[in-house]
């Protein structure tokens, strides 16, 4: 793999914004979908930018992820392909969520290009809005040292923070690069052509960066197995699971911010089909002594895990959006890991990989058969 | 709340002995959800059905639950009773307390408890049943024949009548294996004299539509209403509708290239029987560089590899041997055989006639063909183990018949099977040899296994008879009532239901970006409803509400 060093004297955002400008100037890209800081300063939104001048203020790697990029792309392409070439600048998990949505026909990838960046993780949005200045500084520290406090728990265990298993066209490598420097790589053929047209020559060997990515991944993988094994005890059985979700207030925010929960109306919001008649609740209360209300809280979470666990990319949007700090994302990661392993499925890896539950294989899953 | 009646069937001693029906009746009565409870020795008997009908009418029940046997056995029976008394056939629930309780739970107390749960669940569920409309369509009497060999041609000619169209698709040219045959045994008539007029008749029949050089891409639907999609060589798609499908895909000669012992493809003068026929025996003898004074015909080529005797090759090779003798009396012909297969009328006589024409026969256990400057040498082991050798100018390989390689793909489309050799599997090898496990899908000719032309004609006639008697024009076809539907309001067009539908009944409406269900194709399996995450796809008789209430009651 080869790439080109780009100068990051004005930070990562400045360096990437310069690349974006030259891509836009070369005419291969009509518009850029990229996070940008809102005027008031305390948060970030996705902007679809056509005016190159506006790229000056974009923030390709913001410290927080208030909107999952796949959701932004979904609202752009929901009704079919876009006629102009759009370059989406996203975190790897946002690209992967976009791929999962494309498999469900909620995103159309024609004329869409992806650029991702090595992602050290994101800070909690709620923490950030309280003190943007202090957290900006903290995030800069995390970017420099590739570790630090305050990252969302999900991000601490993320192994897809770089471009491996992420179908991007361009990638910006940050892990272990010299201070004030980054590398840009044309990952796909299309990406190589883009850089070529923009006059960015990619002939440098980037194996040093690759080694650093591996090291960082090992560390995150270690974190992941530790967290998962802890959670295994904490989440075993309905009673324990009930405790994990005990603080849930049924706001369904986790579903609303989830990039791959794509239903027009959630099954658990759409009707009272799953709710029981009063007399049945009384009977249940009679049998158990007492029951929690509203009654479908666990059913909602289990239903969502059942619907989306296989495709969960572990972006952590659910947990970030939870007002009660329920560890939704961690439970999803735990359940998702198991089921993804069962089907040898990596969500978001490739649009060519069909969703396992929608494909019929005659010869599989024998371990679940009766002896 | 609707007035619900409960009927408990004793099923002779089957249920009465294993379940305490008195207790069941008492407890359900206590629940106060049913308006009446009756029991009978055997509800499915004529007497039982009459009792049931009269009781429903007398009590004015609007819905009923019947606790008896498996719905597979008698759901239809009781649906008829419901219809007869003026209820919609969906307005009852059959609870299986025989197979699921009486026969499988040995302890009477436990069996009774389980039956009670199931019955309570049904009493709850039946309140949510919705009346569904029984729809009917005209049965399509047209026939779709796949394959334009003699089998397909015969079926087409015999089924095409006034009021019934026949569509015949052939991936190449008409005529199949027969168009390359010289003479037909045992009468030794030119195959062309027989095939030519039939193809003409096919082309001139206004009821027959031919699709030559067309590939079958997809077949959807069921008996009485199939929809096939063809693709022309130019990539154009053609859709046609028919009531039944006939598979007449034929077979092909085994290719002996993969068997090194015959030297086929390497040695000059080694031909397959098919090649000889294609080129013409006379032509081959006269055009040969040096006079052909001796010929060895080797039988059973490919028999071990194929795993079966192809039945037609022994007599076919004798036909070639006779032709050689007739056209060149000084040419010696030796037939090397392993076993002679001469079944049926006229074939043994054909063998004797062949012998009388001076064709020699010798038996072998194994054989090898080698080449040299002077010609070909056939080394073979005779029964008993002694070796023998023949120096010949020409070798004819009598090859068997292999299945058409496109059979598995077609079998997949039509939900039938192919056997280990690649031939279509019949509904029953002895009793139903031309029908398949899918109603309305038939087989004719070598598609079901190797045979000669006579076999093929016999089968094609049988197939045509089956088609004609089952597809009578004017017949009405009842559609599945318990189908699925997709809510336009909730669907986001993700295509999940389209992927899991085994009947091709759900498709995406690209303009509205939602899924739609074709009610004619839908068989009500419910795959779509269970896979749809938002509940937009819904099964009319297994709604979330019905299932949720039922399961909740069982788990109480």
- Work out the minimum CA distance from B207 to partner chain A, whole angstroms: 40
Interface test with chain B among A77, A275, A358, A362, by most B beta carbons within 10 Å: A358
> Looking at residue A268, what is its pLDDT?
85
Cα separation, A61 vs A89, in Å, equals 9
- Work out the minimum CA distance from B515 to partner chain A, whole angstroms: 12
Q: Does B213 touch chain A (CB under 8 A)?
A: no
User: Which chain B residues contact residue A357 at CB under 8 A?
Assistant: 531
Find the closest chain B residue to A287 by CA distance: B556
Q: Which of A105, A283, A308 sits opposite B494 (nearest CB)?
A: A105
Residue A271 confidence class, pLDDT cut points 50, 70, 90:
low
Interface test with chain B among A262, A265, A305, by most B beta carbons within 10 Å: A265
Q: Which residues partner with B370 through β-bridges? A: B377
Q: Does B543 touch chain A (CB under 8 A)?
A: yes
Cα separation, A25 vs A60, in Å, equals 18
Are B535 and A276 in contact (CB < 8 Å)?
A: no
C-alpha gyration radius of chain B: 32
Cα separation, B161 vs B68, in Å, equals 48
User: Which chain A residues contact residue B536 at CB under 8 A?
Assistant: 263-264
Interface test with chain B among A80, A267, A351, by most B beta carbons within 10 Å: A267
- What confidence tens digit (pLDDT) does each residue in A12-26 have? 899 999 999 999 999
Q: Which of B490, B508, B549 sits opposite A264 (nearest CB)?
A: B490
Are A357 and B531 in contact (CB < 8 Å)?
A: yes
Mean pLDDT across chain B: 94
> Looking at residue B545, what is its pLDDT?
87
* Count of Cβ atoms closer than 10 Å to residue B76 Cβ: 11
Residue A273 confidence class, pLDDT cut points 50, 70, 90:
low
pLDDT at A371 over 70: no
pLDDT at A272 over 70: no
Q: Which phi and psi (to 5°) does residue A122 adopt? A: -130, 155
Please work out, in degrees rounded to the nearest 5, the angle formed at the alpha carbon of residue A160 by the alpha carbons of A8 and A216: 65
Q: Longest Cα pair distance anywhere in chain B, in angstroms?
A: 103
Of B396, B362, B397, residue with least CA distance to B382: B362
Share of chain A above pLDDT 90, in %: 71
Over residues A58-70, the mean pLDDT reads 96
pLDDT at A344 over 80: yes
- Work out the minimum CA distance from A296 to partner chain B, whole angstroms: 13
**Helix, coil or strand: residue A332:** helix
Q: Which of A105, A274, A358 sits opposite B493 (nearest CB)?
A: A105
Task: Kindly provide the ipTM of the predicted complex, given to two decimals.
Answer: 0.89
Q: Which residues partner with B9 through β-bridges? A: B40
Q: Does B70 touch chain A (CB under 8 A)?
A: no
User: Which chain B residues contact residue A104 at CB under 8 A?
Assistant: 494-496
DSSP string, B60-93: T-SEEEEEES-HHHHHHHHHHHHHHTT--TTSEE
Q: Which residues partner with A36 through β-bridges? A: A45, A58
Find the closest chain B residue to A288 by CA distance: B556
Residue B556 confidence class, pLDDT cut points 50, 70, 90:
confident
Find the closest chain B residue to A102 by CA distance: B494
The interface residues of chain B toward chain A in range 473-502, judged by CB-CB distance below 8 A, are 489-496, 499-500
Are A307 and B552 in contact (CB < 8 Å)?
A: no
Report residue B556 CA to chain centroid gap.
Answer: 46
- Work out the minimum CA distance from B446 to partner chain A, whole angstroms: 29
The interface residues of chain B toward chain A in range 245-274, judged by CB-CB distance below 8 A, are none
- What confidence tens digit (pLDDT) does each residue in B218-242 have? 999 888 999 999 999 999 999 999 9
Helices (H), B252-310: 273-279, 281-287, 303-306
> Looking at residue B154, what is its pLDDT?
97
- What confidence tens digit (pLDDT) does each residue in B302-359 have? 999 999 999 999 999 999 999 999 998 899 999 999 999 998 889 999 999 999 999 9
**Tokens 């079901």 — which residue?**
B448
Find the closest chain B residue to A307 by CA distance: B533
User: Which chain B residues contact residue A295 at CB under 8 A?
Assistant: none
pLDDT at A365 over 90: no
Over residues B418-440, the mean pLDDT reads 93
Q: Which of B500, B513, B548 sits opposite A274 (nearest CB)?
A: B548
User: Which chain B residues contact residue A267 at CB under 8 A?
Assistant: 533-535
Report residue B113 CA to chain centroid gap.
Answer: 44
Contact B262, B356 (CB under 8 A): no
Find the closest chain A residue to B511 by CA distance: A79
Beta-carbon contacts below 8 Å between A and B? 56
Cα separation, B357 vs A306, in Å, equals 78
Q: Which residues partner with B64 through β-bridges? A: B5, B92
Contacting B with CB below 8 Å, chain A residues are 79-80, 104-106, 262-267, 270-271, 273-274, 276, 280, 283-284, 287, 307-308, 357-359
Of A77, A46, A39, residue with least CA distance to A60: A46
Cα separation, B331 vs A243, in Å, equals 95
Domain ranges of chain A: 2-227, 237-368
Contact A105, B493 (CB under 8 A): yes
């Amino acid at each position: 793999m080869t790439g080109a060093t780009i100068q990051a004297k004005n930070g990562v955002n400045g360096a990437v914004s310069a690349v974006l400008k030259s891509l836009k100037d070369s005419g291969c890209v009509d518009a850029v979908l990229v996070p940008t800081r809102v005027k008031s300063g305390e948060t970030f939104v996705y902007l679809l930018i056509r005016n190159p001048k506006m790229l000056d203020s974009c923030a390709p790697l913001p410290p927080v992820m208030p909107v999952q990029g796949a959701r932004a792309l979904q609202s752009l392409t929901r009704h079919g392909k876009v006629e102009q070439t759009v370059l989406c600048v996203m975190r790897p998990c946002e690209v992967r969520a976009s791929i999962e949505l494309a498999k469900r026909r909620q995103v159309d990838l024609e004329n869409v290009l992806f650029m991702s960046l090595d992602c050290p993780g994101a800070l909690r949005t709620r923490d950030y809005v309280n003190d943007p200045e202090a957290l900006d500084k903290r995030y800069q520290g995390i970017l420099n040292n590739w570790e630090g406090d305050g990252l969302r728990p999900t991000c601490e265990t993320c192994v897809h923070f770089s471009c491996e298993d992420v179908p991007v066209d361009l990638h910006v490598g940050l892990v272990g690069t010299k201070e004030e420097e980054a590398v840009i790589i044309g990952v796909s053929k299309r990406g190589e052509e883009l850089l070529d047209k923009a006059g960015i020559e990619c002939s440098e060997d980037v194996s040093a960066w690759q080694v650093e990515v591996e090291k960082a991944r090992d560390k995150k993988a270690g974190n992941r197995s530790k967290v998962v094994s802890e959670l295994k005890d904490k989440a075993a059985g309905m009673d324990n699971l009930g405790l994990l979700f005990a603080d849930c207030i049924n706001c369904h925010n986790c579903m609303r911010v989830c990039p791959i929960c794509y239903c027009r109306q959630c099954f658990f919001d759409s009707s009272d089909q799953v709710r029981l008649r009063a007399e049945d609740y009384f009977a249940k209360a009679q049998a158990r002594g007492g029951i929690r209300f509203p009654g479908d809280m666990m059913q909602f979470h289990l239903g969502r895990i059942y619907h989306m666990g296989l495709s969960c990319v572990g972006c952590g949007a659910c947990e970030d959006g939870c007002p009660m700090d329920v560890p939704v994302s961690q439970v999803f990661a735990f359940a998702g890991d198991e089921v993804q392993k069962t089907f040898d499925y990596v969500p978001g890896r490739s649009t060519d990989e069909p969703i396992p539950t929608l494909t019929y294989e005659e010869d599989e899953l024998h371990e679940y058969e009766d002896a | 709340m609707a007035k619900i009646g409960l009927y408990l069937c004793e099923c002779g001693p089957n249920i009465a002995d294993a379940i305490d029906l008195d207790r069941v009746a008492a407890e359900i009565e206590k629940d106060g959800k049913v308006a009446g409870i009756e029991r009978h020795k055997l509800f499915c008997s004529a007497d039982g059905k009459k009792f049931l009908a009269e009781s429903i009418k007398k009590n004015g029940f609007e819905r009923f639950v019947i606790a008896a046997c498996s719905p597979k056995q008698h759901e239809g029976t009781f649906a008829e009773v419901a219809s007869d008394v003026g209820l919609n056939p969906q307005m009852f629930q059959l609870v299986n307390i025989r197979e699921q309780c009486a026969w499988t739970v040995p302890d009477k107390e436990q069996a009774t408890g389980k039956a009670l749960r199931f019955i309570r669940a049904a009493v709850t569920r039946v309140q949510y049943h919705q009346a569904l409309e029984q729809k009917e369509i005209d049965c399509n009497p047209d026939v779709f024949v796949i394959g334009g060999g003699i089998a397909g041609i015969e079926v087409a000619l015999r089924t095409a009548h006034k009021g019934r169209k026949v569509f015949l698709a052939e991936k190449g040219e008409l005529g199949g294996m027969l168009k390359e045959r010289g003479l037909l045994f045992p009468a030794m008539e030119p195959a062309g004299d027989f095939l030519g007029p039939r193809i003409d008749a096919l082309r001139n029949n206004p009821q027959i539509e031919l699709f030559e050089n067309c590939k079958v891409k997809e077949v959807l639907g069921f008996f009485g209403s199939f929809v096939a999609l063809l693709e022309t060589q130019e990539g154009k798609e053609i859709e046609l509708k028919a009531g039944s499908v006939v598979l007449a895909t034929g077979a092909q000669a085994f290719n002996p290239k993969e068997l090194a012992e015959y030297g086929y493809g390497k040695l000059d003068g080694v031909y397959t029987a098919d090649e000889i026929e294609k080129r013409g025996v006379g032509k081959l003898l006269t055009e040969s560089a040096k006079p052909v004074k001796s010929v060895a015909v080797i039988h059973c080529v490919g028999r071990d590899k194929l795993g079966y005797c192809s039945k037609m090759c022994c007599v076919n090779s004798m036909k070639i041997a006779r032709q050689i003798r007739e056209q060149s009396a000084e040419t010696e012909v030796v037939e090397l055989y392993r076993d002679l297969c001469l079944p049926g009328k006229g074939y043994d006589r054909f063998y004797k006639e062949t012998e009388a024409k001076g064709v020699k026969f010798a038996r072998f256990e194994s054989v090898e063909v080698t080449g040299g400057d002077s010609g070909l040498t056939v080394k073979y082991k005779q029964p008993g183990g002694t070796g023998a050798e023949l120096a010949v100018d020409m070798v004819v390989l009598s090859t068997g018949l292999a299945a058409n390689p496109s059979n598995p793909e077609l079998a997949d489309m039509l939900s039938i099977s192919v056997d280990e050799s690649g031939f279509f599997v019949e509904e029953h090898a002895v009793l139903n040899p031309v029908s398949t496990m899918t109603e309305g899908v038939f087989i004719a000719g070598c598609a079901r296994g190797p045979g000669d032309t006579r076999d093929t004609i016999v089968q094609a006639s049988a197939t045509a008879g089956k088609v004609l008697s089952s597809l009578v024009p004017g017949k009405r076809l009842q559609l599945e009532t318990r189908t699925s539907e997709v809510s336009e309001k909730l669907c986001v067009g993700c295509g999940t239901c389209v992927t899991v539908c085994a009947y091709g009944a759900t498709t995406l409406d690209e303009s509205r970006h939602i899924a739609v269900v074709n009610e004619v194709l839908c068989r009500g399996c419910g795959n779509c409803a269970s896979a749809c995450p938002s509940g937009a796809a819904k099964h009319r008789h297994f709604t979330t509400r019905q299932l949720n209430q039922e399961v909740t009651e069982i788990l109480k």
